[in-house]
Amino acid sequence: MTTVTPRQAPTTVILAAVVFLLAGLQGVLRMYDSVGGAAGVVVALIAAVIYLAIAFGLWKGNKIAWILAVIGGALALLNILGGEWLSFVAGVVLLVLLLLPQSRQWFNRP
């Protein structure tokens, strides 16, 4: 009898998922503050679920999660125009981590 050990996500992908979660948390808190009231809570909860789903998808090797995270990282680069350095840096780190060869290989596996 042979046992198959599940593949573990590369460290770069795990770090990218953590960066995505932290950036998402910042975005959710910002949405909650800007919208306010019950609508702010609903919008923040929906955004939190989306961020969690993408981070989980990255960890599991989901190609769609990778595409959404790369798009999110690219859009975060635009935050430099509004003077939000933290979001800009998170976008740069996210893109670098997700576009490294070992990360791309994780998402291009059969």
Number of Cβ atoms within 10 Å of the Cβ of 91: 22
Total domains present in the chain: 1
In whole angstroms, what is the distance from residue 19 CA to residue 38 CA? Answer: 28
Instruction: Find the mean pLDDT for residues 9-18.
Output: 91
Give the whole-number percent of the chain exceeding pLDDT 70. Answer: 91
Identify the domain containing residue 46 by its residue range. 12-103
pLDDT at 4 over 60: no
What b-and-e string marks burial along 37-75, b requiring 16 or more CB atoms within 10 Å of the CB?
eeeeeebbeebbeebeebbebbbebbeebbebbbebbee
108 lies in some domain: no
Instruction: Find the mean pLDDT for residues 45-58.
Output: 88
Instruction: Find the mean pLDDT for residues 45-50.
Output: 84
86 lies in some domain: yes
Instruction: Find the mean pLDDT for residues 61-87.
Output: 88
* Higher pLDDT, residue 79 or 36: 79
Name residue 62's amino acid. N
2 lies in some domain: no
4 lies in some domain: no
* Higher pLDDT, residue 37 or 100: 100
